Amino acid sequence: MEKVLKNLQDTKQFAKEFLVEVRSPASYLDGKADRNVILLQGELGTGKTTFSQFLLEAIGAEGPFTSPTFVIMKKYELRGRASQLKNVYHLDCYRVDEESVLDLGWEEIIADKNNLILVEWPERIKKIWPKKYWLLKFKYGKGVKNSRIVGVDMV
């Protein structure tokens, strides 16, 4: 599936809709909820961080939501939320490799289905991707200024 995002409002709406798709009760029936890792691919500036910020907002995490570029990983606790999720982890793997991410506790984090994990620049850690994941591919749109196209795959 591909979705055209013409502006920030479209991106915000897409983040809300995607969250429902990933974590709704129906997701548990069709196996979608088995996937707690969301891999965000795309060139610099295509909207990976913006999407992540809107998803964090939609899930009820407490901000501010800044890019984890320099800290590599940020953890957001979801205490008292209606969701069965307890934590959201947001990683930026642009400057790291698999070993560095493993040292952060990657295997334990992805094994806990109460965690939702957002990974920017996942191609840098491809060897340690889980068997099941969501893959969102962001790219620049054509014809509409500042638009983006996001492809959604479930593996």
Q: Write down the domain spans for the chain.
A: 2-154
Q: Are strands 87-92 and 115-120 parallel, antiparallel or unpaired?
A: parallel
The pTM for the full model equals 0.89
Per-residue pLDDT of the chain (155 residues; tens, 9 = 90+): 899 999 999 999 999 999 888 875 555 445 566 789 999 999 999 999 999 999 999 998 888 888 877 789 999 988 765 567 889 999 999 999 999 999 999 999 999 988 999 999 999 999 999 999 999 999 998 877 888 999 999 88
State which fold the 2-154 domain adopts. Answer: Rossmann fold (3.40.50)
